[in-house]
Amino acid sequence: MSTVTPKLFDINSHLQERGVADVINYTVEKAKK
């Protein structure tokens, strides 16, 4: 269990970083148009 938890945490933080990048990209695209 203790070996699985850090991996899940890494995936979760990666998804959050990915989400932030996607929001920024989306905002930039909207600003261009």
pLDDT digits (tens, 9 = 90+) for 1-33: 566 677 878 877 878 888 888 988 999 999 987
pLDDT for 2: 60
Going from N- to C-terminal start, the domains of the chain cover 1-33
2, 10, 11, 16, 33 from 24: Cα distances, Å: 34, 21, 20, 12, 15
